A and B are shown apart, each in its own frame.
Chain A
Amino acid sequence: MAPMLEVKNLRVSFPTHRGRVEVVKGISFDVGRERLGIVGESGSGKSMTGRAILKLIRKPGLVTADRMSFDGIDILSQNEKQMRSIRGARISMVMQDPKFSLNPVMTVGQQIAEALVTHEKLGRREVNERILAMLDAVRINDPKRVAGLYPHEVSGGMGQRVMIAMMLIPEPELLIADEPTSALDVSVQAQVLDIIDDLVTRKGMGLILISHDLNLVSRYCDRILVMNSGTVVEECAAGQLDKASHPYTRGLLAAMPTMNENRDELPVLDRTQWAGT
């Protein structure tokens, strides 16, 4: 069976005054109904990869690929209108920081409703019911009250759960979570990820979890891509991470402290080993 999302030789570049700069340099991967983690440091191109899948790279950014198809649809040849019927409805994305990614002058309920009615024509009553059910599914107590709140009136963790509700309500088949917890307190990170994990598993969706946190990704994903300066340097099953071979991955793993150890100094990445930037 063909994978749900197939990406071959994806390149994203932006023009600068010194010519085009490639931020994603020809990466390839497949995603089925599974949980794929993309790990990398800032500027490694992982977020750009997520946005390129939804064709959300704005001009003058340029996206090329030998092949980028979702469920047999060639994404690169879709026009804007066709892409709109894919965005949200079939592939959705949880954004990083609820403080900036929720519209400040619309209520939480209005924003979730918008995600739903953009793709399905439903009666007002049904929309309301679906919203309340969805808020309940992301473990928000008193969904009726929360639906009437504005984003500045909810906490970060609650905002991110609202974001998840908004992105999952049209029941997409693939969810891209772009650093969904990096703006949150550590105490709520696990809670939010558990909700994502739970819903994705229950609905049999595919998940691309983008993060800089190797530990977290290996806990929530089946398979891991490690990215560094626009290329995939390592691809392995989450359980096999300790057998990773690329020096970058090894370096990252070595730099991670563990509970029962006695190192005086954690090692620093030695980038010369793989001619990294």
Chain B
Amino acid sequence: MSLEPQTTISPASISPTKRRWGRGISAILGFAATVFLTFLGLLAITFFIGRVIPIDPVLAVVGDRASKAVYEAARASMGLDQPLYIQFVQYVGNVLSGNFGMSVSTGRPVIDDISRFFPATLEMATIGIIIGVIIGVPLGVLAASRQGSWVDQIIRVVGLLGYSMPAFWLGLVGLALFYAKLRWVGGPGRLDVFYDGLVSPVTGLILVDSLIAGEYEIFWNAVSHLILPASVLGFFSLAYIARMTRSFMLDQLNQEFVTTARVKGVPERIVIWRHAFNPIRVPLITVIGLSYAGLLEGSVMIETVFSWPGIGNYLTTGLLNADMNAVLGSTLVIGAVFIFINKISDVLYRVLDPRAR
């Protein structure tokens, strides 16, 4: 673990016994099965929502002045005259082959829209959570190890601000100060207008695409646009992560084995990082995973303030236009992200906590 400040003390014979390979294959199969089943459940729920919502998808296509015959024809061509379970099978088949239907509001296939909008959110959320973790975790540890001191008080106030400050307000103030006044960062949008569309999308992440294309100027422009919204997101996740880290750490620092370490004469720095911090990595992963998933869901407020073409914006527009395919498609993607992140934390649990193996 790179966070341990002292050289490792795990000579070969006293390190954990390797005994997991035999169970490797069945564990992977079981893992794949749970992922598949969870995903199927997600599909069933989105399918069900799509059927109970009082929006008639046929009406949305043909309009309310269409004749009965036209309506029925459209209904049949959309497969809605079939029994529900056949519809579901078709739906699952469609989704698995990447067909989420057409979006009414953009006139393009939903899958195309999502592959354009989701990377924008992914990019912002990832930078945001990295900021949140890199700053939030050490702040939480610091606050807990100096409980009651002025350092602790300041960190707690920062955490409280992160809880109580409205995101759009912070975004607007940030724009007014760092963009309009100081000109340190780029304004709204992912790039300046004259750079737009210059790099061909490979991953959809402009930071990556511009590096692949060797366009460093565009890369730095994208960074200057990304840094402010990502920092605002980062600040909110930082506040949460720091608070949770602090309370996890306080809990650990009161444990008997921490006293044991002190009895052994272990320096305080190692007591804190090796003995108190290592056991909380598992609950911290849950906290970080959930806040990352929350960011990936798209922060509508931030995306609106920064004119960020992300999934949150897309989803909201879809909802307002009764664009069911867009809404269901985005819901599915967000749900899949949650499943994915949850599964990753499950795997990390087992790596980090011997009791969970």
Contact = CB atoms under 8 A, between A and B. Distances in A.
Nearest to A109: B14
A140 interface: no
B13 A147 contact: yes
A105 B279 contact: yes
Interface in A139-162: 144-145, 147-150, 152
A53 B207 CA distance: 59
B10 interface: yes
A104 interface: yes
Nearest to A131: B14
B13 A114 contact: no
A264 interface: no
Given A102-B257, A104-B257, A110 B263 contact: no
Given A114-B9, A119-B265, A150-B354, A103 B260 contact: yes
Contact of A103 (B10, B261, B352): B261
A74 B224 CA distance: 59
B268 interface: yes
Contacts of B13: 109, 128, 144, 147-148
B11 to A, nearest CB: 5
Nearest to A84: B265
Given A88-B265, A107-B15, A107-B16, A101 B275 contact: no
Contact of B262 (A87, A103, A124, A163): A87
Interface stretch (A35-43, A89-97, A205-213): A89-97
B355 A89 contact: no
B9 A92 contact: no
A118 B264 contact: yes
Interface in B324-357: 352-355
A158 B275 CA distance: 21
Contacts of A110: 9-10, 14-15
Contacts of B16: 107, 148, 150
A88 B264 contact: yes
A50 to B, nearest CB: 10
Contacts of A107: 10, 14-16, 354
Contacts of B275: 103
A85 B267 CA distance: 10
B15 A148 contact: yes
Nearest to A102: B257
B82 interface: no
A114 B256 contact: no
A113 interface: yes
Contacts of A166: 260, 264
Please indicate which of the listed interface residues B257, B259, B261 has the most CB atoms of chain A within 10 Å of its own CB: B257
Contact of B263 (A104, A125, A128, A167): A167
Nearest to B257: A103
Given A119-B265, A166-B264, A105 B256 contact: no
B279 A104 contact: yes
Nearest to A152: B355
Contact of B268 (A80, A103, A127): A80
B278 interface: yes
Interface string A50-87: 00001010000000000000000000000010001111
Contacts of B265: 84-89, 115, 118-119, 170
A100 interface: yes
A128 B13 CA distance: 8
Nearest to B278: A105
Contacts of B353: 105
Contacts of B49: none
27 contacts: A87-B262, A87-B263, A88-B263, A88-B264, A92-B263, A93-B263, A100-B256, A100-B257, A101-B259, A102-B260, A103-B261, A103-B275, A104-B257, A105-B279, A106-B274, A107-B10, A107-B15, A109-B10, A110-B14, A112-B14, A113-B10, A114-B264, A117-B9, A119-B265, A152-B355, A166-B260, A167-B264
Given A109-B11, A109-B14, A127-B9, 5 more contacts: A97-B256, A100-B256, A102-B257, A109-B13, A114-B9
